[in-house]
Amino acid sequence: MRANKGLAGLIAGDTTISKVDVTTNSLWYRGYDINELCAKTSFLEVAYLLLHEDLPTSSQLKEFETFERANRNIPKSMYDAFKNMPHYAHPMDLLKIGVSMLGSFDEENSLGTNTHEQNLRKAMLLLSKMPTVVANSYRISKGLEPVEPDSDLSYSENFLSMISGEKTNDPLSVKTLDNSLILYAEHGYNASTFSARVTAATLSDLYNAVSSAIGTLKGPLHGGANEQVMYMLQEIETPERAREYTMKKIENKEKIMGFGHRLYRTGDSRTEVIKKLGQQLAEQKGITKWHEISSIMEETMIAEKKIYPNLDFPAATAYYLLGIPIELYTPIFAASRITGWAAHILEQHDDNRLIRPGCEYVGPTARKVKALEQRV
Ligand SMILES: CC(C)(COP(=O)(O)OP(=O)(O)OC[C@H]1O[C@@H](n2cnc3c(N)ncnc32)[C@H](O)[C@@H]1OP(=O)(O)O)[C@@H](O)C(=O)NCCC(=O)NCCS
């Protein structure tokens, strides 16, 4: 029996966390449509939904938010460790190191047990601390002072403020980041979530499963695509060059970042919300060229290849207009996806079996070992 390359079309397990419906190109978190979640809830409500299986009541949300705001700080020695890293270290690698350090600082993690309650607590700690790791490991690598988290600010206000170094509470900016975090939070058995589940299934702990996931998310075919999209838009520079650039890539059979998806073949329902918010930001700032370039690329790709943009395409422009440094786009994706990863790690640990597929051996067989001097 031969496997499909990339395991395409294979069902690798059951989940109650999200449904990717390819017939309608829609995405549902625990039965709720993501577009309705964007319109009516905050990222923290969605985080609660993913971790606790339903939306919170107002008192449950208050308790959840109180925990999140109270646990944003990270140990000072982590700042010293970041200061000792070379300035060229990739922010995703710093985030992976940061998550590993947080695991080492969490005494409960040394117990070697993975109860539901322990996993929930670890997930909440990472949810609370990852923005601080993302923003401040980056700031330190740029020779800037770290910014302490501000517990008076909402999750997204605080995240934006730590990145920019100044208090940011413009409602459109905060809503754009918050909605993007909802859209990035969860997506079934995507590559990083699958690697988190494989690690968790060995009964390794949540911090290590998340470290595996961060390493997987970094790649440009997965989370790293949002950064590559912005570098590409910068390279194109003007709307006049967009069609020619796209056509050349198509002729050379090169991949265009931010387009295509393993599951969605006729569009990605996550794109519309963030595209609209990005357009509003563009109008607010009077910078429309990125959307003009994007529209031409989208039209060309659909007409020539019938390949549609995925979430990373409009998210890149929205983040650029928010003033977020390009190297932080994928770490921000990770700070959101911690919710989906953790929900999957909980689901795996709660009903575990080691994940260990077989493979078909197709190499040479029954060879005799020659003595070293006889080998040529
Ligand atoms: C997401 C992705 C990895 C899915 O890959 P996949 O399901 O393995 O699909 P394939 O790479 O086999 O692509 C199928 C065909 O579409 C083409 N294609 C897919 N995505 C493309 C893209 N972004 N640009 C140009 N062509 C693309 C492939 O070249 C291939 O064409 P061929 O059959 O003529 O060889 C792929 O679409 C991609 O690399 N996209 C760019 C990276 C990206 O945006 N990633 C974020 C995903 S959310």
Q: What is the domain-level CATH number for residue 114?
A: 1.10.580.10
By C-alpha distance, which of 129, 229, 193 is closest to 341? 193
Q: What angle do CA 136, 140, 143 make, to 5 degrees?
A: 145
229 C-beta closer than 6 A to ligand 1 = no
DSSP 146: P
Query: Do residues 127 and 201 share a domain?
Result: yes
pLDDT at 3 over 90: no
pLDDT value, residue 265: 87
Residues 72 and 165 both lie in one domain: yes
Q: Is the pLDDT assigned to residue 329 strictly greater than 90?
A: yes
Nearest CA to ligand 1 atom 33: 253
pLDDT tens digits, residue range 262-293?
A: 999 899 999 999 999 999 999 999 999 999 99
Section 66-89 average pLDDT: 96
One domain, residues 191 and 306: no
CATH (domain of 246): 1.10.230.10
**Is 357 within the bounds of a domain?**
no
Closest by CA position to 336, among listed 285, 274, 291: 274
Residue 1 has pLDDT above 80, yes or no: no
For ligand 1, is residue 248 a contact (CB within 6 Å)?
no
Please indicate, yes or no, whether residues 77 and 191 belong to a single structural domain of this protein: yes
Sign of the C-alpha dihedral, residues 180, 182, 184, 187?
negative
Q: Does the beta carbon of 6 sit less than 6 angstroms from any atom of ligand 1?
A: yes
Domain with 48, as residue range(s), is: 5-222+326-350
Q: What pLDDT, in 10s, does the model give residues 208-265?
A: 999 999 999 999 999 999 999 999 999 999 999 999 999 999 999 999 999 999 999 8
**Mean pLDDT of the region 199-205:** 98
Q: What is the distance between the alpha carbons of residues 272 and 179, in angstroms, rounded to a whole number?
A: 11
Mean pLDDT of the chain: 96
Ligand 1 centroid – CA 256 distance (Å) = 8
Residue 149 domain-assigned (yes or no): yes
Provide mean pLDDT across the span 181-198: 98
First-to-final CA distance of the chain:
35
CB 186 within 8 A of CB 18: yes
The tally of domains found in the chain comes to 2
